[in-house]
């Protein structure tokens, strides 16, 4: 039988009983930072519990879903337990994908997934999708973790909780001030919390110190890099990335910014390819103003089939940062991040064939 958990409860369980893992997890939500953190925690717990082999698949309605069932049935040369990591950025698996997910659910219910954990990650499911047969079947069999959005009113508390993990505290007024300065952007709030952890020791931080840290904006910033990449300004994007590296910006933070944008673009491209209205899809991801225009420009430059590879590229960089070798990638994660940035900045759709 499936069960529902919030992300905090799951993370607490993984810390207290890391070896007790369920065969099927479904993680969904529209806050990429929180979804990635939750999935990373599950992956780490799986490794700790002896699931040494990982099969990573990024799929949509047009993908070959036979690879999922094949991964559950193949035998490892070394007899390792395995984690099958299935990402569905569009949230739309299509007919074949739906059937495959239902088959997975049936395998779990029948106790047929031996030495295997399946992790399915999705964007937040709307009402129509929730009522789909595949979603109901998956939810009934999986440990479902739905990650809600952090609204502006809840952001000060969220920042406070993140600071507490670093053994740091702020007064309520300063937490409100920080939430205002990041304009409700969760990734920006995360970046500022990380910055405070690097700049100041454990304990209470004064409002004056927080103000100096938050207002000390680097000459090169991750959002400028993102905008240059979206605008197709390859020269500026590389300059920004080089500047961030020279100024000592934390590489994981830069990857969060670029990787989040790539994942959102992949979801929007898939939604557009499925016939969904792009404006409605962007409202769902809270994309407004100048960024909306940049997103449209980028989607018009790159074909829909380019996005799964770009998302995989971001995952590969994350693995390199963690010290893992990735076939076909450079050992320097900064260089690979430059490649990913250029992949988005300079790509063009091929011209239509002459008739």
φ, ψ (nearest 5 deg) of residue 211: -60, -45
Element spanning 146, H or E: strand 143-147
Query: What pLDDT score does 216 carry?
Result: 56
CA distance 317 to 276: 31
Query: What pLDDT score does 334 carry?
Result: 95
Phi and psi based region of residue 111 (left: phi greater than 0; alpha: psi -120 to 50; beta: remaining): left
Which of helix, strand or coil describes residue 11?
helix
Nearest to 81 by CA among 37, 21, 133: 21
Query: What pLDDT score does 218 carry?
Result: 47
Mean pLDDT of successive 10-residue stretches along the chain, which has 355 residues: 84 81 91 88 90 88 90 68 89 92 91 88 88 92 90 90 94 89 79 88 91 63 86 90 86 88 92 88 78 90 91 94 91 95 79 53
Contact status, residue 349 vs residue 303, Cβ threshold 8 Å: yes
φ, ψ (nearest 5 deg) of residue 203: 115, -170
CA distance 59 to 292: 25
Contact status, residue 270 vs residue 304, Cβ threshold 8 Å: yes
Query: What pLDDT score does 249 carry?
Result: 83
Tokens representing 198?
């690097």
Contacts of 184 (CB under 8 A, 6+ apart): 151, 152, 155
Query: What pLDDT score does 85 carry?
Result: 92
Nearest to 28 by CA among 160, 185, 142: 142
CA distance 16 to 20: 9
Other Cβ atoms closer than 10 A to 81: 17
CA distance 208 to 125: 42
263 HSE (CA, 13 A, CB side): 25
CA 26 to chain centre: 14
Element spanning 6, H or E: none
Query: What pLDDT score does 25 carry?
Result: 95
Element spanning 27, H or E: strand 24-29
β-strand partners of 168: 203
Rg for the chain (alpha carbons), in Å? 21
* pTM recorded for the entire structure: 0.62
Tokens representing 213?
């840290």
Identify the structural domains of the chain with CATH numbers, from first to last: 3-147 (3.40.50.300), 152-213 (1.10.8.60), 222-345 (1.20.272.10)
Instruction: Give residue for tokens 């989040």.
Output: 260
Query: What pLDDT score does 219 carry?
Result: 46
CA distance 97 to 61: 6
Query: What pLDDT score does 349 carry?
Result: 57
CA distance 122 to 111: 24
């Amino acid at each position: 039988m499936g069960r529902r958990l919030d992300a905090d409860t799951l993370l607490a369980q993984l810390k207290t009983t890391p070896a007790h893992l369920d065969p099927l997890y479904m993680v969904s939500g529209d806050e990429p930072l929180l979804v990635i953190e939750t999935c990373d925690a599950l992956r780490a717990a799986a490794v700790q519990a002896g699931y040494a082999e990982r099969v990573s698949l990024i799929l949509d309605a047009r993908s070959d879903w036979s690879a999922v069932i094949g991964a559950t049935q193949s035998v490892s040369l070394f007899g390792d337990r395995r984690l099958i990591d299935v990402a569905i950025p569009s949230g739309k698996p299509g007919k074949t994908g739906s059937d495959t997910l239902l088959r997975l659910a049936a395998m779990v219910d029948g106790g047929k997934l031996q030495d295997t954990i399946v992790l399915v990650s999705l964007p937040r499911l709307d009402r129509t999708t929730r009522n789909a047969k595949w979603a109901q079947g998956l939810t009934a069999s999986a440990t479902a973790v739905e990650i809600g959005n952090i609204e502006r009113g809840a952001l000060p508390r969220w920042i406070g909780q993140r600071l507490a993990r670093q053994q740091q505290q702020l007064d309520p007024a300063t937490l409100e001030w920080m939430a205002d300065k990041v304009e409700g952007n969760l990734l920006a709030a995360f970046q500022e919390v990380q910055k405070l952890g690097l700049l100041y020791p454990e304990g209470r931080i004064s409002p004056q110190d927080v103000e100096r840290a938050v207002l000390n904006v680097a000459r090169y910033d991750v959002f400028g890099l993102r905008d240059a990449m979206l605008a197709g300004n390859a020269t500026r994007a590389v300059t920004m990335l080089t500047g961030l590296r020279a100024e000592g910006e934390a590489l994981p933070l830069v990857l969060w910014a670029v990787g989040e944008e790539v994942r959102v673009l992949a979801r929007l491209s898939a939604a557009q390819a499925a016939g969904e209205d792009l404006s409605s899809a962007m409202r769902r991801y809270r994309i407004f103003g100048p960024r909306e225009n940049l997103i449209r420009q980028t989607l018009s430059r790159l074909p829909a089939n380019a996005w799964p590879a770009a998302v995989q590229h971001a995952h590969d960089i994350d693995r390199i940062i963690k010290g893992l070798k990735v076939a076909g990638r450079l050992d320097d994660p900064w260089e690979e991040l430059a490649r990913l940035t250029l992949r988005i900045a300079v790509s063009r759709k091929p011209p239509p064939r002459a008739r």
